[in-house]
Amino acid sequence: MRTGYGAILGTVTIDLDSLRAVFDLHNTAGMDFPDALREHLRPDAEWVESPLLPGATTHRGREAVVALFRERFETGHMLLDELALTQVGDQMVLAAFTVRIVGAQSGAPGSMRAWNVITVEDDQIARIEEFTDEASALAAAR
C-alpha cells in the first residue's frame, strides 16, 4: 500500500484510496487475503481485538495479525461493505463498515456494524483497533 503522504496545512494526509484498496482486497481475495495482507503490514504491526470479544487480546507482529485473519476467514465467508474512511489524525484513519458473514459450518448469515481505528506509518499499517460502537472508536482516535 502506498499512502502518498503530503503536507496540507501542516498535517500529513493519508491516501485513503490506498487504504480502501486493502478493504477491497479483503472482499476479493477470499482465503488468500491473510497472505495478501502481509505486504501491507509493518513487521511490528498490532491488531487490538474489540474488548467485547471473549478473550480479547492484542496480536503483535505481522505474522500474528496474518494468523488472526486466517483464523477468522475459517469461521465463514466475510464481506465488508458500506465502507467509510475518515482521517482523524496525522497517522490515523477511522474505518466504519458493515461485516456480513455466512458461517462455514452452519451456513447461517449474520451482520454487524464495526469500526476500526487504523494507524498508518510510512506506507504500511502499524496498528488496527476494532470496535463495535462508533463512540468508543472515536474516543480511541483522540
C-alpha 3/C-alpha 90 separation (Å) is 12
What is the total count of domains within the chain? 1
Tens of pLDDT, residue by residue over 1-16, are: 333 333 344 457 888 9
Is residue 71 one of the residues assigned to a domain? yes
* pLDDT on residue 48: 97
Is residue 48 one of the residues assigned to a domain? yes
Is residue 67 one of the residues assigned to a domain? yes
Helices (runs of H) and strands (runs of E) counted in the chain:
4, 8
What spatial distance separates the first Cα and last Cα of the chain, rounded to whole Å? 24
Is residue 1 one of the residues assigned to a domain? no
Tens of pLDDT, residue by residue over 65-92, are: 999 999 988 888 899 999 999 999 889 9
Q: Which residues pair with 90 in a beta bridge?
A: none
* pLDDT on residue 9: 42
Is residue 109 one of the residues assigned to a domain? yes
Does the model's pTM come out above 0.85? yes
- Expressed as residue numbers, the domain containing 72 is 6-141
User: 80: domain CATH number?
Assistant: 3.10.450.50
